[in-house]
Structure 1
Amino acid sequence: MKKFISYLLVALMVLGTGFAGSQKASAQSTDELEQKIENKKNKQEEIEKEQSNLKNDKQNTEEKIEKNLDKQDSVNSEITTINQKLTDTREKISTKENEITDTNEQLDKLSNQIDELNAQIEKLKKEIQELKERIKKREKLLKDRLRAIQSNGGSMKYIEVIFGAKSFSDLISRSSAVNTIMDQDKDIMETHKREKQEVEDKQAEVKTKKGNVEQKKAEVEDKKASLKSQKQELESLKSELDDQMAEKESLLGDLEEKEKDLENYKVSLEDEQEILRKQKAANQKAIELAKQEKEKLKQLARERQRERKANNNSGSSSSSSSDNSSGGNSDGGSNHSAAPASSGNGMFNYPLSAPVTSGYGQRWGSLHAGIDFGVGPGTSVGSAASGVVISTHSESDGTMNGYGNVVLVSHSINGTSYTTLYAHLSSIAVSSGQTVSSGQIVGTSGNTGQSTGPHLHFEIHRGGWNGSKSNSINPLSVLN
């Protein structure tokens, strides 16, 4: 009887110790869950703060886009003005070219006229030379006559000739002869005078014509030089306008490129906003799950407390039964709380088994924020840790910076939030808000988006995913 009582006391002590251990484990699990809930709430505040920052950043980006568009309008207006000036300048240059062409034609005509006048002058020179020779002969003849008249007594000889007539008919003959001689002398003198005046008139006329033509040619040449100078000024203006146009078009190209970058950045911010919204929802779901798990642990603790009281009242037979039941429930409670710890422990599992073909770091002038696994299309991709799917994006969405089909999963490991990203998938096997376990298939590898070949692109971010990738970490540093 004493031995039975001793065994009974020992059994009660063991049973009490078991219940105490179970209660202690339950309290510890509850505390862990309480801490997890608190961390998740803090994460919610961080997400809300990040959402506010993104909203402000998006607003600033939209303002920059608006200013960029205003500047583009201004530059387009300047280009229109320059283009109009260029059109006017080209028309003026064309007009000047036509005027220069007309002037050249005038110069050609005047040159031809000058050539003709020079030919006339040469011809006149010959005629003048002939006239001069005739005049010279006449002058000699007249001089000879004058000398003869002077040596014979001048006009008295004619009287002697007349008075020397022997008959009336001889008188008539002699008078007629004298008249004839005098008429001939007179004709010679008049012809001499006329031809001499004719030569002088022709010389003056040709000289005047040539002077007029040469003056006109000089005026036309001055006009041509002026037109060429004006054309040169217009061409210089056109060159300046061309330079201005090239500068404005280059500026417009830069503005359009900047606008494109801003629009892409805006889309990236919108993606981040959407991801944060889904991450917030996923985080809230994780909080609810933790609360449910905490409530279950509390309920389990209350049930064990009732069982302990019942066992204390029932005696040794129920103690044995209570011991077996208590042991089973204790194991089950331990397994339930161990799942999150085993999935993380500060480490992640590889999403698939394949060689790393491209590491984390700078590549082609920008950050390659993850690692690439060289694997063909269709290979199953597992979640690197347990968590909640934040969002999924298909290639048809045209978003997520060329990632193609992509899945993002939120994780909480040792009180720290992480986000994993699986990109270029050929298919997606999960949906937003879904809870996944470590190793659970989230999709299959592929070659979607801006991909150079079939592979899996894998990223890990401390906190939520953001387009700047500033919080990305090297996956190899935390993978098992």
Structure 2
Amino acid sequence: MKKYLPLLLVVALVLTIPGLNLDQVSAESVDDLNKQIKDLEKEQLELKEKQDGLESEKSETEKKIQENLNKQGTVKGEIESIDQQLDTTRANIQAKENEIAETNKEIDSLNNKIKELKEQIEELKEEIKKLQEKIEKREELLKDRLRTIQKNGGQMRYIEVLLGSSSFADFISRTAAVNIMMDQDKAIMETLKEDRITVETKKTEVEDNKTEVEDKKVEVEDKKVALESQKQELVALQGQLNNQMAEKETLMAELEHEHEELHEIELTLAEEQEVIRAEAEAKKKAIAMAERKKTELAQLNKKEPAANSGNPNGIFTHPAKARISSHFGMRYHPIFHENRLHAGVDFATSTGTPLLAPADGVVSKVGVVGGFGNAIFISHYINGQSYTTVSAHLSSMSVSPGQEVSEGQVIGATGNTGNSTGPHLHFEVHIGGYGNPVNPLPYLK
């Protein structure tokens, strides 16, 4: 039965070509179709091997996703711990600032007291100066009295005054005068003594008070220095915690981005398996369509190139009328830290720009495909070679799987769906089927 399978496929393919009958099929065309069928069977075998490889890659990706989630859990816990430390540190800094503010108030109060005491000392100096002048005058008066008494024989002078009375009344008067003089002398001496004690007491009291306040000020200033030092330590700790938090948040963002990338890869692998399965049928139809339209293709190849075309030897028309904003090639990936392929070219289109079928072919996949967003996959068979084109990030799609499309036919509109930072068309060309991307530019007309 296996022997006859190629022949049956030949018959099936020939029957699908309108306007042909068995008499028109030459031996040469049968050989060509046999070769095409063998090529197709080889491609299908390669697709089966690719599917097996994708299953293994998908399993590895799922493992990476789980590892990523575990890392995210660890980093999240570290962030929460640092956040709690930051809350405690901020509260401690605020407490220190409050203590420093109170200490500054205390220092201001002590400075005011010292100022007042200095003013009191200045006033007391004036008072002492005046008292000293009084003391000096009283001392001089007393010295004069003592010199007089000493010169006149001490207390005998008072007796002579009394004995020199001319009458009893005069004696009484003289006695009173002597008593007054003695009392005055006594009062002067007592006042002098009290003034001296008062001056010394006030001076000692103010000096002691000043010394006490100055000592207190030194103590409070030392306390302020200690608080400032403690605050600086807390501020430094807060800076370290902020740096740690920033590092952890950056790591968390990278892990979340990596998680999205891994999921995108996982979805792409699943979708790729679907595309590969769909391509087998689409390729059969594409080969039949190519044979049927051989004449038309010959005519199309004679057409003048499009206005924005730069390659007359290309096989695909431009899928959209727009400039190329990003080229095919390797790029450094910030998450996986390796060079990764940008597997197509980007056209800087606005949302809603008509999307054209790049060549005759059969639609193999239509819908949301991983990071591509809305995408259309088309299988082509041109000059004995199969191709797959991909148009991604579309805003709308007007074809369905299995549908035949003609070159230049409007099949949708460009947009900004999927992993896209702005409206554009991402366009890819794969030789022999999806999974073998090449630079599209040499293949564009």
Q: Find the partner of 2:401 among 418, 428, 431.
A: 431
Please tell me whether the aligned partners of residues 359 and 406 of structure 2 are also in contact (alpha carbons under 8 angstroms).
yes
Counterpart CA distance in 2 for 1:379 and 1:133 is 114
How big is the shift at 1:55?
Answer: 2.0
| Partner deviation per Cα, 1:181-210 (whole Å, 9 max, x = no partner) | 222111111110001100111111111111
Counterpart CA distance in 1 for 2:172 and 2:371 is 140
Q: Find the partner of 1:392 among 362, 366, 369.
A: 366
Match of 2:73 in 1: 73
Match of 1:447 in 2: 413
Question: Is 1:408–2:402 an aligned residue pair?
Answer: no
Please tell me whether the aligned partners of residues 377 and 445 of structure 1 are also in contact (alpha carbons under 8 angstroms).
no
Counterpart CA distance in 1 for 2:282 and 2:423 is 32
Q: 1:343 to 1:260 in 2, by over 3 A?
A: farther
Counterpart CA distance in 1 for 2:110 and 2:237 is 33
Using CA pairs below 8 Å that are at least 6 residues apart, which structure has the higher relative contact order? 1
How big is the shift at 1:461?
Answer: 1.9
Match of 2:433 in 1: 464
How big is the shift at 1:27?
Answer: 7.7
How big is the shift at 1:140?
Answer: 0.3
| Partner deviation per Cα, 1:46-88 (whole Å, 9 max, x = no partner) | 2122112222222222332333333333333333222222222
Please tell me whether the aligned partners of residues 447 and 453 of structure 1 are also in contact (alpha carbons under 8 angstroms).
no
Opposite residue 81 of structure 1, the aligned amino acid is S
Match of 1:63 in 2: 63
How big is the shift at 1:339?
Answer: 3.6
How big is the shift at 1:408?
Answer: 1.8
How big is the shift at 1:389?
Answer: 4.2
How big is the shift at 1:227?
Answer: 2.1
How big is the shift at 1:219?
Answer: 1.7
Q: 1:351 to 1:228 in 2, by over 3 A?
A: farther
Match of 1:221 in 2: 221
- 3-state SS in 2 of match to 1:409: strand
- Deviation larger for 114-123 or 196-205: 114-123
Counterpart CA distance in 1 for 2:355 and 2:134 is 124
Matches within 5 A, 1:72-471: 72-165=72-165, 168-280=168-280, 282=282, 339=291, 354-355=306-307, 356=309, 362=328, 367=342, 369=344, 381=357, 383-384=359-360, 389-393=363-367, 397=368, 399=370, 401-402=372-373, 404-409=374-379, 411=381, 414=384, 417-421=386-390, 427-432=397-402, 436=404, 440=406, 444-450=410-416, 459-466=428-435, 470-471=436-437
Q: 1:392 to 1:343 in 2, by over 3 A?
A: farther
- 3-state SS in 2 of match to 1:447: strand
Counterpart CA distance in 2 for 1:157 and 1:371 is 135
Please tell me whether the aligned partners of residues 377 and 444 of structure 1 are also in contact (alpha carbons under 8 angstroms).
no
TM-score w.r.t. length of structure 2: 0.71
Please tell me whether the aligned partners of residues 427 and 445 of structure 1 are also in contact (alpha carbons under 8 angstroms).
yes
Counterpart CA distance in 2 for 1:410 and 1:77 is 52
| Partner deviation per Cα, 1:78-120 (whole Å, 9 max, x = no partner) | 3322222222222222222222222222222222222222222
Counterpart CA distance in 1 for 2:358 and 2:119 is 106
Opposite residue 131 of structure 1, the aligned amino acid is L
How big is the shift at 1:472?
Answer: 2.6
How big is the shift at 1:258?
Answer: 2.8
Opposite residue 228 of structure 1, the aligned amino acid is E
Structure 1, unmatched stretches of 5+, are 1-21, 291-335
How big is the shift at 1:31?
Answer: 6.5
- Deviation larger for 249-258 or 103-112: 249-258
Q: 1:108 to 1:422 in 2, by over 3 A?
A: closer
How big is the shift at 1:221?
Answer: 1.9
How big is the shift at 1:235?
Answer: 2.3
| Partner deviation per Cα, 1:352-376 (whole Å, 9 max, x = no partner) | 974436689538967463698x9x9
Please tell me whether the aligned partners of residues 416 and 423 of structure 2 are also in contact (alpha carbons under 8 angstroms).
no
Please tell me whether the aligned partners of residues 344 and 437 of structure 2 are also in contact (alpha carbons under 8 angstroms).
no
Counterpart CA distance in 2 for 1:475 and 1:110 is 84
| Partner deviation per Cα, 1:430-455 (whole Å, 9 max, x = no partner) | 533x6x5xx75795254323499999
Opposite residue 56 of structure 2, the aligned amino acid is N
TM-score w.r.t. length of structure 1: 0.67
Match of 2:316 in 1: none
Opposite residue 448 of structure 1, the aligned amino acid is T
Q: Percent identity?
A: 40
Opposite residue 376 of structure 2, the aligned amino acid is V
How big is the shift at 1:229?
Answer: 2.3
- Deviation larger for 205-214 or 356-365: 356-365
| Partner deviation per Cα, 1:310-333 (whole Å, 9 max, x = no partner) | xxxxxxxxxxxxxxxxxxxxxxxx
- 3-state SS in 2 of match to 1:392: strand
Please tell me whether the aligned partners of residues 378 and 446 of structure 1 are also in contact (alpha carbons under 8 angstroms).
yes
Q: 1:212 to 1:352 in 2, by over 3 A?
A: farther
Matches within 5 A, 1:32-51: 36-51=36-51
